[in-house]
Structure 1
Amino acid sequence: MRGWFDAFRNDGGPTLYNFNNRTAVTGDVTIITFLTIFTTLYIAFLIIFPGVRKEKFTTFFTVTLSLFVGATILVSIFGSSWHIAHTAIFSTYKAFSKEKIAANLGVYVGLAHVNITLQALPVNNRTPDIDFNERFTWIDSSQMGDSFKEAIARGLPFPILTVAEYFTLGQDGLSWGSQYRSAGYYAIIMLWTSFAVWVLMNLMLIVVPRYGALLMTTCGFLLLATCCGYFGMLPEIPLTIHTEGKAMQFHFGWCYWLVVTAGGICLLSGVIITTIEIIVPHSFSTILEVDYDTPYDRHIIIEDSHGKRFQRKRNSGNKLDDPAGDGLGFRILKRLSSKTKEEQLNADIINHQIYEMESSKSPWRYSINTISGRPLQHKAAPRSISDDTLSTISGESRIHSDLSRYRINPERAHEVTMW
């Protein structure tokens, strides 16, 4: 009687998987992820690019270069092809065995690891089931030695163990691993610095394009400095791996040359754009700017300012319409005259206030009697003889008649003045 889980079982034993289910590690998942992201962004840009009507060349070149440099930096950090070597060998599969296999042996040195591959070659139209890709990391100083011991315990093929032994850090007189680790450590620092500058470059290309060109130059310089530093920190005595009579010579891989290419293009483009900006200011522009093709676009603002300046120059020819265009001396005198007018106006206001204060001190201006508290009724004061004589405009005969009419004795005049 069969149960629910008896399918593909023989006599109650475990399930038999009679097909080859092993898959060789031929690609890095991290690198494939980054390439997929940048490729998707570039395809999206190409889809919308036909709708771009202005600045087509600069926009296409800037976006293409930016995505290429960003992808190069991230792929190179996690890539495994900075220093590589490969050869075909005819070697034993395991130690102390007379059985030999024909295979391709490859060594791919990255910045923080080394990948060793072993793939069997077909013999008599038959390919042995041998396909290895083992990674040994050296982020820590002792991690390479620990990985090598684990590889021995796992029983990896003899060619892989032979190559891994060359990279043990400072053990048994072999120091190539430590030098590769130092070079990779320096390159990682420089590449992450370049990535930070690349992010700022994209930001400045959106906000202030001329600053983006300067950061583009800086990013290219850092990428080239990364390659130069890595080249200078490689082992002075080149590493040569001997296995079964074959010598494996190392050379630079595609990661190294990709960084050199990206750095050179970025540096050259940044220098050219910066030079053009110095000669012709505000000439470099893309549709990626924040206020592009709006009233706040810097090109529109510059054109408006030039138009107003030209209009001001045209109007300056008519001195009656625009007296401000007569020169610096006229404007200084006008400024001084305006200050003089203001000072004169302030002085008149102060004098008026002083006049009112002095006139208020007269006893005839009191509106309330200080004794009774009642409001006073001001009566017209009798006019004196001098006032009458000054107010008249008649002849001398009328003056004499007025004097005789208003003549009074001195005692009465004294009483009037006392009152």
Structure 2
Amino acid sequence: MAAFGHTFPFYAGPKSTFPMDTTLVTIIIIFLTALITFIVILPGIRGKMRLFWLLRVVTSLFIGAVILAVNFSSEWSVGQVSTNTSYKAFSSEWISADIGLQVGLRGINITLTGTPVQQLNETINYNEEFTWCLGTNYAVEYAKALEKGLPDPVLYLAEKFTPRSPCGLHRQYRLAGHYASATLWVAFLCWLLANVMFSMPVLVYGGYMLLATGIFQLLALFFFSMTTSLTSPCPLRLGTAVLHTHHGPAFWITLTTGLLCVLLGLTMAVVHRMQPHRLKAFFNQSTEEDPMLERSPEEGGLLSPRYRSMAESPEPQNIPLSENPSTQAYCKEEYLGEPDCAL
């Protein structure tokens, strides 16, 4: 095979690649389906409440989708370089390719795309994933990559993240991924509780849970940044170039969403304190209050009973009772001398 096919027998052909992570596609489809469902029932809402309701639904679904998507995303730390590098082991032939590295909370993703794609009578288009999440062993996955005979650039980057590598990238990114992922799951739980409270007459507590959602997202960013900066960066030399990594789209969209949740939570708390009736109107809740109740500022706006004084109480009305005509006639006949007849 090596003599007639001009290729080594342990190199498998490049597998087909999907332009996007299937997990992210599933999350996006679920939330888009929910959004379309809410839009279908939108005409049943009348007046300006339709706009308020649509704004609430879109904002809430966006926050929930971001929290789930970034948790499974592989673009927390990314880097890409165009270089000339060796392609296979035991071969002196070089290729021109774009090499990309995406580091997520559960592993790394390495891409190798030739420029042009067709070189050395082969299609150079690889997209390989190596995970370190619970239930997987990164060293075993790297050993399987060696058995498959993946190209040199892919194996070189994957080797830098092995547990025995002197760079120490495996330990720091694995710890960062575990802490950040756990914090994002707590943020997702707070988002669910916020939506439940928004459907009940406890809007201020829903705002507090939305504030907690943003705080936990910012904590996830803090854990990821702090843990990945504990050790000095390891140089990743690929041929004639050096690959440098930086924060990716998942990091920045998490930062934006976290700040948005904090801003919305603080705004709801302030509006509930200053103008609670406007907050109720925005969430399509009744603003009418019982005339026997009034708000007590000492109790944080809770309702307390207020009893009417004697001056405010309406005068009792004397409603005459209906009398039986036969009784009236009997009284007139038997007791003509008495002023009245009481039974």
TM above 0.5, yes or no, is yes
8 Å contact from structure 1 (residues 315, 321) kept in 2: no
Q: Which residue of 2 aligns with 1:190?
A: 183
* Per-residue Cα deviation, 1:102-126 (whole angstroms, up to 9, x for no partner): 1111100010110001111117999
Deviation at 1:316, TM superposition (A): 2.9
Q: Counterpart in 1 of 2:328?
A: none
Instruction: Look up the match of 1:91.
Output: 85
Q: Please name the residue that 1:281 is paired with.
A: 276
Report the counterpart of residue 206 of structure 1 in structure 2.
Answer: 199
- Deviation of residue 173 (structure 1)? 1.9
Structure showing greater relative contact order (alpha-carbon pairs closer than 8 Å, 6 or more residues apart): 2
| Counterpart-to-counterpart distance in 2, 1:162 and 1:73 | 32
State the number of aligned residues: 291
Instruction: Give runs of aligned pairs for residues 196-235 of structure 1, distance below 5 A.
Output: 196-207=189-200, 208-235=202-229
Partner Cα distance (1:114, 1:63) in 2 = 34
Q: Corresponding residue for 1:35? A: 28
The aligned counterpart of 1:259 is 254
Match of 1:159 among 124, 128, 153: 153
For 2:228, what is the secondary structure of its paired residue?
coil
Q: Structure 1: how far apart are the matches of 2:166 and 2:14? A: 41
Unpaired segments of 5 or more residues in structure 2?
1-12, 295-306, 318-343
Please state whether the residue corresponding to 1:233 is helix, strand or coil.
helix
- Measured at CA, do residues 90 and 66 of structure 1 come closer, stay the same or move farther in structure 2, by a change above 3 Å? same
Among 65, 87, 100, the residue aligned to 1:106: 100
| CA distance, structure 1, for counterparts of residue 108 and residue 59 of structure 2 | 30
SS of the aligned residue for 1:133 comes to strand
Q: Work out whether residues 58 and 286 of structure 1, in 8 Å CA contact, stay in contact via their aligned partners in 2.
A: no
More strand by share: 2
Cα contact 1:239–1:249 (8 A) shared by 2: no
Residue 43 of structure 1 aligns with an amino acid whose one-letter code is I
Supply the distance in 1 between the matched residues of 2:220 and 2:14 (Cα, whole angstroms): 41
Structure 2: how far apart are the matches of 1:267 and 1:140? 31
Q: What is the aligned partner in structure 2 of residue 243 from structure 1? A: 238
User: Distance between the aligned counterparts of 1:231 and 1:212, measured in 2?
Assistant: 29
Q: Distance in 1 between matches of 2:183 and 2:136?
A: 24
State the one-letter code of the partner of 2:198.
L
Select the structure of larger CA radius of gyration. 1
Aligned CA distance change for structure 1 residues 49 and 140 (closer, same or farther; 3 Å): closer
Distance in 1 of aligned mates of 2:313 and 2:105: 73
Helix, strand or coil at the partner of 1:25: coil
Specify whether residues 80 and 172 from structure 1 end up closer, same or farther in structure 2 by C-alpha distance, changes over 3 A only.
closer
Kept in 1, the 8 Å contact 2:217–2:258? The answer is yes
AA aligned opposite 2:169: W
Residue of 54, 59, 64 corresponding to 1:65: 59
Query: Contact 1:54 / 1:287 at 8 angstroms: preserved in 2?
Result: no
Mark the CA change 1:262 to 1:194 in structure 2 (over 3 Å): closer, same or farther.
same
Aligned pairs (5 A) from 1:134-149: 134-139=128-133, 143-149=137-143
Percent identity, aligned pairs only, is: 30
2:40 matches 1:47: yes
Q: Secondary structure at the match of 2:74?
A: coil
TM superposition shift of 1:315 = 8.2
In 1: Cα distance, 2:142 partner to 2:103 partner: 16
Find the aligned partners of 1:141 and 1:48 in 2 and give their Cα distance. Answer: 42
Structure 2 length-normalised TM: 0.76
CA gap 1:125/1:50 in 2 versus in 1, 3 angstroms: farther
CA-based RMSD of the aligned residues comes to 3.0
Matched, 1:176 2:182: no
Q: CA deviation at 1:91?
A: 1.2
Per the normalisation by structure 1, the TM-score is: 0.63
The counterpart of 2:76, out of the listed 75, 82, 85, is 82
The secondary structure found in structure 2 opposite 1:24 is coil
Q: Given that residues 120 and 128 in structure 1 are in contact (C-alpha distance below 8 angstroms), is that contact kept between their aligned partners in structure 2?
A: no
Alignment of 1:305-344 (within 5 A): 316=311, 321=316
**Cα distance between partner residues in 2 of 1:108 and 1:190:** 21
Closer, same or farther in 2 for the Cα pair 1:129/1:302, shift >3 Å?
A: farther
Contact 1:77 1:188 survives alignment (8 Å): yes
The one-letter code of the counterpart of 1:139 is C
The offset of 1:144, in angstroms, is 1.7
Which ranges of structure 1 fall in alignment gaps of 5 or more residues?
Answer: 1-19, 293-297, 307-311, 323-419
